[in-house]
Chains A and B, each alone.
Chain A
Amino acid sequence: MTEKLNILVACGSGVATSTIAADDIEDVCREYGITNYAISKCSMTEMPSMSQNYDIVFTTNNYRGKIDTPLMSVTGFITGINTAELRQKVGEKLLSLTKDRE
């Protein structure tokens, strides 16, 4: 039994674009058969401190600082550009994180 994969999605407000991205990420999880996960959302201001408790962080804004948690930008889910490629990138990243925990 593996531990739950904790996913954090951040945007400027923690409400708007992160919700859109979180929906897409859930959809990717379904497609890749990842079931044992939890998604939380937060603002970019909260993200650096919150990230410590998560396995991966996705952001719709770019983040210039450094955090220890793996970070991926998912603005493509908002613009709709290259989403197929982005979905694959997200899916593979989540799968590799899931495997690391087994």
Chain B
Amino acid sequence: MQLTDYVKKDTIFLNCQAQSRAELFSKVADKLLNEGYVKKGFLDFINHREDNYPTGLQLQNHTVAIPHGDPQFINKPFVAVITLTKPITMRRMDDATIKLPVDTLFTLGLTNGSDHLDLLKEIMKLLQTDSFVQQIKNCTNKDEVETVIRVAEKKRKENSDD
């Protein structure tokens, strides 16, 4: 099970422009719907979910968000990597009253199963690596994103084998 299997060319969205979370979610959800990754209810679900239980994370040096859809709205499991030219305002997972300017998002469209939980853990561990988030932000094309993830994942696996 590899993260690179879930981050596809059509789930990478670089340098997106959006004024708000709603606008970004709507743009991305539209594309995911057209490519057959999600069902119609996906957009409403992540919006609703984000309103009630926000997913913005203040990391060491970066602010990211990890919106995730419910398995019932997912056709093909995926991880979407989204970078923005200008941050949008989201809210913190640990305190919804605090606003957070977010410019990098990892949207998880996972179906149930232990494989997918392993994948989620993998993503979380990568996010906790400061240089990984920075490298993703620096990417100018989709090939670079795939390479960054492949290299980071390989490095992590090597380290955990020690």
Assess whether B117 is in contact with A79, with CB atoms less than 8 Å apart: no
Assess whether A13 is in contact with B70, with CB atoms less than 8 Å apart: yes
Answer whether A12 and B57 are a contact pair too, CB < 8 Å, given A61-B94, A62-B96, A78-B93: no
| A: interface residue count bin | 10 to 19
B residues 71-97 touching A (CB-CB < 8 Å): 71, 93-96
Complex: how many Å from CA A73 to CA B93? 10
Q: Which of A16, A73, A75, A79 is the one whose CB lies under 8 Å from B68?
A: A16
Assess whether A81 is in contact with B121, with CB atoms less than 8 Å apart: no
Assess whether A13 is in contact with B68, with CB atoms less than 8 Å apart: yes
Residues in B neighbouring A62, C-beta threshold 8 A = 93-96
Residues in A neighbouring B26, C-beta threshold 8 A = none
B95 to chain A: closest residue by CB: A62
Q: Which of A16, A75, A79, A81 is the one whose CB lies under 8 Å from B120?
A: A16
Q: Answer yes or no: B22 CB below 8 A from chain A CBs.
A: no
Residues in A neighbouring B108, C-beta threshold 8 A = 16
Assess whether B52 is in contact with A81, with CB atoms less than 8 Å apart: no
Q: Answer yes or no: B55 CB below 8 A from chain A CBs.
A: yes
Complex: how many Å from CA A60 to CA B127? 16
Assess whether B55 is in contact with A79, with CB atoms less than 8 Å apart: no
Q: Which residues of A contact B (CB under 8 A)?
A: 11-13, 15-17, 19-20, 23, 44, 60-62, 73, 75, 78-81
